[in-house]
Amino acid sequence: MNRLAEALLSTPEMCAVFSTEAWLQRMLDAEAALARAEEVAGVIPAGTAGAIAAACRAEYFDAEEVAVQGAVAGTPVIALVRMLSERVTGGAADYVHFGATSQDIVDTGLMLQMRDALDLLDGQLLRLGEHCATLADRHRATPTVARTLGQHAVPMPFGLKAAQWLAAVTHHIERLRALRSTHLVAQLGGAGGTLAVLGAHGDRVTRLFAEELRLAAPDLPWHTRRDGIAEAVCALGVLAGAMAKVATDLVLLAQTEVAEVGAAAQGDKGRSSAMPHKQNPIDAALARTAANHAIGMVPVVLAAMAQEHERAAGGWQTEWNAVPATFGATAAAVGRVTDAIAALQVDTERMEAVSRLTDGRIMSEVISAALVPRLGRAAAQRAVADASRDAAETGRPFREALRDRLASLNVLSHDEIDALFAPERAAGSASLSIDRALDRFQTVQPR
């Protein structure tokens, strides 16, 4: 894999969680916990678990070799068990991996990696939320415009945009925490999901095994029931989609013609190889790149859910890359958006100027609503639309055109019309919405 792609589609921290070495260690953690659980349950001889656990350290083994052999054998666990058994001293080696199947170890290891990965994302999102919250609060009165289908619609404070971003961040903190508490489930079923080797002890060993690893214990093994994995991947896909929304906003707000926000120059970041004057919104752009990849993994995992019988020939193995890749790309998307927002230079003067670009037409929603009691809705909308067109054709100010129109209809004095254009008429619930977003974010803050 090209290192550029790798750097774009993960973060160093997430790479570490899903590195070959960490993966091996997490599988070894599962083997160690299994031995301990089986010793407590009396399934394997006393003293065995200690010997096994002592050998369950990734640095004792060649992780890459486990991976390469796994690609040949179709499962990494054959090589892992062989190497581990060679390392374990005394008779304990016979009880390595006792009663388990490859998938028990791979799936449980993945759960442990997912826990680490969810913790990383939680931290990332809290940081991103902080930045959004700061923007939301600081700019709760900074005027700019709401845009619908790319067209100026109505006035809104820039803080409300940031509050919307914040609301998404808070939502995903909550969603991922919910997943962390319910979807990290140990896997233990033995070759066919019956735990036959463990006889009457299967259930007890399962519970002890899960407890050792601080995972939830499964009601029953889930070798080919992948709802939990698929839901976690979907949650990441939705989070990536939310990041793509923020990144798209940032790219659009940074357009030369809009220029409401920009990024501070930082070395080569955003520079062009041909145009010395440029500053590209590169973090936002690459957040979209990362989000595209995260979303792309979702249908791969969903389509792989049709895992036949008690172990799939291809579907399960699809998750081995797809799940880490989704975490990586999602983390990259969150990270890039965070970098973009952390370095965001908000040009409030430009926002003010932008909000005047339509010469007051962005007040047309509130003005026409205000005219309804006098004119009825149809006439109110017509008056505003006619004034708008009149101003456009003649080049004179919209407010003036509206005055004439309303004078001809015998409604409202000049002063009353001026009052319609007062910015506070456009405030609506914006400030309350910002407070709501800030309050909700408070509730997810660590104490």
Options 48-56, 119-127, 403-411, 436-444: segment touching its own copies (CB under 8 A): 436-444
74 φψ region: left (φ > 0), alpha (ψ -120 to 50), beta (else): left
Task: Single out the residue of 54, 258, 343, 444 in contact with its own copies (rule: CB under 8 A).
Answer: 258
From candidates 172, 176, 186, 209, binder to its own copies by CB under 8 A = 172
Q: Please, what is the minimum distance in Å from the beta carbon of residue 158 to its own copies?
A: 12
Closest approach of its own copies to the CB of residue 79, in Å: 7
Q: How many residues bind its own copies (CB under 8 A)?
A: 190
Report the relative pairing of strands 143-148 and 151-157 from DSSP bridges. Answer: antiparallel
> Per the residue annotation, which of 272, 408, 413, 429 is the catalytic one?
272
Instruction: Name the minimum Å distance from CB 102 to its own copies.
Output: 4
Q: Is residue 159 involved in binding its own copies (CB under 8 A)?
A: no
Min dist CB 393 to its own copies, Å, is 12
Q: What residues numbered 81-140 form the site for its own copies, per CB under 8 A?
A: 81, 85, 91, 93-102
Distance between CA atoms of 250 and 252, rounded to whole angstroms? 5
Residues 194-253 that bind its own copies (CB under 8 A): 194-199, 202-203, 206, 219-222, 224-227, 230-231, 234-235, 237-238, 240-242, 244-245, 247-249, 251-252
Judged by CB under 8 A, which of 87, 296, 400, 444 binds its own copies?
Answer: 296
322, 331, 346, 406: which one contacts its own copies (CB under 8 A)? 322
Query: What is the C-alpha to C-alpha distance for residues 120 and 17, in angstroms, rounded to an integer?
Result: 9
393, 397, 403, 406 alpha-carbon torsion, rounded to 10°:
30
Q: Which helix (H) or strand (E) holds 205?
A: helix 202-212
Kind and range of the H or E run holding 153: strand 151-157
315 binds its own copies (CB under 8 A): yes
| DSSP conformation letters of 317-375 | HHHHHHHHHHHHHHHHHHHHHHHHHHTEEE-HHHHHHHHTTTTTGGGHHHHHHHHHHHH
Q: Which is nearer to its own copies, 24 or 53 (CB)?
A: 24
- Select the span of 30-38, 117-125, 161-169, 409-417 touching its own copies (CB under 8 A): 161-169
Contact between residue 106 and residue 320 where contact means Cβ atoms under 8 Å apart: yes
CA separation for the pair 367, 405 (Å, rounded) = 13
Give the position of tokens 């508490």.
Answer: 181
Query: Is 268 a residue that touches its own copies (CB under 8 A)?
Result: yes
CB of 313 to its own copies, least distance (A): 4
Among candidate residues 293, 265, 300, the one with its CA nearest the CA of residue 279: 265
Active site residue 288: no
- Binding segment for its own copies (CB under 8 A), chosen from 14-22, 53-61, 127-135, 341-349, is 14-22
Question: How far is C-alpha 208 from the chain's CA centre?
Answer: 33
- The rounded distance, in Å, linking the Cα atoms of 438 and 163 is 7
Residue 256, token pair as written in the block: 């030369």
Find the shortest distance in angstroms from Cβ 9 to its own copies. 6
Question: Among residues 36 and 311, whose Cβ is nearest to its own copies?
Answer: 311
139-148: b or e for each residue (b if 16 or more CB lie within 10 Å)?
bbebbbbbbe
Please say whether the beta carbons of 201 and 43 come within 8 A: yes
Which of 147, 288, 311, 399 is the catalytic position?
311
Query: Rule CB under 8 A: is residue 342 a binding residue for its own copies?
Result: no
Q: Least separation, in Å, of the C-beta of 326 and its own copies? A: 11
Binding of residue 267 to its own copies (CB under 8 A): yes
Q: Return the residues of window 364-423 that contact its own copies according to CB under 8 A.
A: 364-366, 368-369, 372-373, 376-378, 381-382, 384-385, 388
* Distance, CA of 89 to CA of 55 (rounded, Å): 8
- Annotated active-site residue 181? The verdict is no
42, 47, 314, 397: which one binds its own copies (CB under 8 A): 314
Contact by Cβ (8 Å): 187, 111: yes
Among 54, 141, 411, 427, binds its own copies (CB under 8 A): 427
Shortest Å distance, C-beta 404 to its own copies: 16
- Interactions with its own copies, residue window 274-293 (CB under 8 A): 274-289, 291-293
Q: Using the minimum distance from each CB to its own copies, give the nearer residue, 135 or 298.
A: 298
Distance from C-alpha of 160 to C-alpha of 437, rounded to nearest angstrom? 9
Residue with tokens 């007062």: 422
Q: Where are the extended beta strands (E) located within 67-150? A: 143-148
Instruction: With CA atoms as reference, report the closest residue to 223 among 345, 311, 124, 125.
Output: 311
Interaction with its own copies in 25-84: which residues (CB under 8 A)? 63-64, 66-79, 81
As measured in angstroms, the least distance from the Cβ of 398 to its own copies is: 8
Catalytic residue positions, numbered: 272, 311
